[in-house]
Amino acid sequence: MDGAMILEWVIKSIFLILVMTGGFAYVTLYERKVLARIQVRIGPNRAGPFGVLQPVADGIKLIFKEELVPAKADKLIFTLAPVLTVIPALIITAVVPWGTEVTLFGRTIKLYLADINIAVLYLMAVTSISIYGIALAGWSSNNKYATLGGLRATAQMISYELALGFAMIVPVMMAGSMSLVDIVESQKPVWFVFVQPLAFLIYFIAALAEINRSPFDMPEAEQELTAGYHTEYSGMKFALFFMAEYIKMIAISMIGSSLFLGGYRGPFVDQLPALGPLYLFIKVAIVLFVIIWIRATLPRIRYDRLMQFGWKVLFPLALLNVFVTGVVLILVGG
Amino acid sequence: MLNDWSYVAIFTVISMFLPAAAIAIASFLAPKKPNPIKNSIYECGVETVGATWVQFKVQYYIYTLVFLLFDVEIIFLYPWAVAYNQLPLFAVVEVIIFILILLGGLLYAWRKGALEWV
Amino acid sequence: MTPLQIVFLLVAAITLFSAVMVVSIRGMMHAALFLVLTLMGVAFMFATLGSRFFAIIQILVYIGSIAILIIFAVMLTRNIMDAEVASLNRGWWFFAPLALLIFASIVLVLSSWSAFATLRDLSSTSGENILEFGKALTDPNGFVIPFEVASVLLVAAMVGAVYIAMERRGGRG
């Protein structure tokens, strides 16, 4: 057992969690600002210059809010559900590389948490667990809106998980490895998005549905389900659901960037590895902007159409894409 | 077994502390003044009628059933995708047959109306 | 004991406890959730035994889809939170020792099986070789027949399930 090694791991883990939490706080501000600009408003601008202290103010407010637990709710599961929603959102980022390695204080530090040989399957597994938090939140509230929201979320997430899985096979085929580090490295000549634009599009749409983002935010459709699965939640527990949603947004942007947009790769990254996290940050910011832009532009899809789109359009398309990629790679590669 | 997997395990344990700490801190700081009206179930101000946990649509179950089978298919395809660059043509044809058989299953479910929501 | 063994025993205890809770707790939803906990414990055991690929598959298939299928099945039944029904039936005092007896005899048989004690130790390697697995899966001398049969089996299972479910729904299609 190498003590310094474990310390390095713990520090990296805590650092990543802090980055994701801080990222969550500022993505909320980013989203409000971008939405406001698209709707020709200014957005939050009172707390600090350009509203940079707004997330802090929101956080303090949410901590001091009273938490209500419905009298008929299943209290243990009701408290457990927000925790179970946040954990998968955080741990899915463990396998995403932010760079190669840098030398700091005479130690070579790898700029990723874990390079596991079945990282893409790990992503799929964590995605499939993340259903539970939402389903349990809806069920334990003993509220009809919440239960329906939870059920809808579950059915929607499993439907789009298939398309997600088939879209993620394509980079694995091209790289010949499931490790995200290898996948990013094999995008040295060309990013996979230029070779496989359809796979990226399928990944992006399915991932949006997977995290219940607009236009697939049916589980929390205000007009019919009040707030969906988190109708009964307030205070910090509500904040945790909110946090999970935004961390998932960051996570799918990071994973999408790594699988299709070259991850931390960019000009001069081989000479100066410290540029890696910066490139990844820029790519994530751009993908997040597109996600917010979609929210500002597209109306919500009706639930039956959403399920039909997932099963009858996206899933066969993803299957066909794997099929065609297999054949074309054989023909090109000989 | 100090490898990248233990790293994932450490990260999972550490990431459990964040939401747990958030709930614990809030439970100390937040006011607690419950009353029966506050703790009643929210239904737009109307009193809730009937049980919440009733029988749900069978469609949820059918979707999950179809999902389960394709989920297993995806798992079969991942090792194939990893080895893809080094496989002979024969192996690729096999997998294409594998996909086609399952596509047949999807078409059956489609024709049978299992993928219809209403 | 190494730290890994302590963790293993702890997880084994949790797994067994939740397995007992699955059959003894009132309320089907809680039973289903304990089942998820049991499956999670089994996945963890796969991981500690050095088979991470199967750990991930355990999570993906059993927790990610079969347990959800069970939860939906629970929601399909009426009175899911009905705690009036006794969860133990009258003959439990007879069948509990019987189950223990069967378990003990399985352990006895397995422990006398020579292959059980000489299983390869995989925990030192960094995980399975997925590349070799993928090759073996489609190799004519490997597992290509089971691989193709698996797809037929999957389709047959799906056709059967969809057929039954759709007939019950009122014979549409």
Query: Which residues contact residue B12 at a Cβ distance below 8 angstroms, ignoring those fewer than 6 apart?
Result: A87, A91, A94
The domain total for chain B is 1
Domain match, C70 and C7 both: yes
* Mean predicted confidence (pLDDT) in C94-105: 88
Residue C96 has pLDDT above 80, yes or no: yes
- Tell me the two tokens of residue C128: 């399975």
Phi first, then psi: what are they for A83, rounded to 5°?
Answer: -65, -45
Q: A13, B14: Cβ pair inside 8 Å?
A: yes
| Sequence-ordered list of residues with C-beta below 8 angstroms from that of C26, at least 6 positions apart, any chain | C83, C85, C87
Bigger pLDDT: A197 or A217?
A197
Say if B54 falls within a structural domain.
Answer: yes
Strand partners, A107: A104
Identify the CATH number of the domain in which residue C17 sits: 1.20.120.1200
Identify the pLDDT of residue C123.
Answer: 45
| Average pLDDT, integer, range A321-326 | 84
C41: containing domain = 1-81+122-127
Check if the beta carbon of residue A137 is closer than 8 Å to that of residue A212. Answer: no
Contact B73 C134 (CB under 8 A): no
C47 touching chain A per CB within 8 A: no
Give the C-alpha separation, A288 to A96, whole Å.
17
| C-alpha to C-alpha distance for B72 and A48, rounded to whole angstroms | 52
Smallest CA–CA distance from A13 into chain B, residue: B11
Task: Please tell me the predicted confidence (pLDDT) of residue C124.
Answer: 45
| Residue pair A323/A238 in contact by the 8 Å Cβ criterion | no
Residue C15 lies in a domain: yes
How far away is chain B from the Cα of A38, in angstroms, using its nearest Cα? 31
Give residue B35's pLDDT.
75
Instruction: Tell me, yes or no, whether C109 lies in a domain.
Output: no
Q: Average per-residue pLDDT in chain B?
A: 77
Q: Cβ of C56 and A117 within 8 Å?
A: no
Higher pLDDT, A285 or B48: A285
d(CA C91, CA A186): 63
Q: Under a CB-based contact definition with an 8 Å cutoff, are residues A245 and A27 in contact?
A: no
pLDDT bin (cut points 50, 70, 90) of residue A21 is confident
pLDDT of residue B1: 44
Residue A102 pLDDT > 80: no
- List the CATH number of the domain containing B64: 1.20.58.1610
Q: Is residue C117 part of a domain?
A: no
**Number of domains chain C is built from:** 2
- Chain A neighbours (≥3 Cβ pairs under 8 A) are B, C
What's chain C look like in SS3?
A: CCHHHHHHHHHHHHHHHHHHHHHHCCCHHHHHHHHHHHHHHHHHHHHHCCCHHHHHHHHHHHHHHHHHHHHHHHHHCCCCCCCCCCCCCCCHHHHHHHHHHHHHHHHHHHHHCHHHHCCCCCCCCCCCCHHHHHHHHHCCCCCHHHHHHHHHHHHHHHHHHHHHHHHHCCCCC
Q: Are residues C134 and C62 in the same domain?
A: no
Q: How far is B44 from chain C (nearest CA, A)?
A: 25
Q: Is residue C89 assigned to a domain? A: no
Whether C3 and C69 share a structural domain: yes
Highest average pLDDT, of B58-72, C32-46, C155-169, comes from C32-46
State pLDDT tens for residues A138-147: 888 877 788 8
Q: Give the separation between CA A4 and CA A21, rounded to whole angstroms.
A: 26
pLDDT at B116: 74
Q: Which domain holds residue B105?
A: 4-112
Is B67 part of any domain? Answer: yes
pLDDT tier at A6 (50, 70, 90 boundaries)? confident
Hey, what are C9's tokens? 């025993």
Q: Is B117 domain-assigned?
A: no
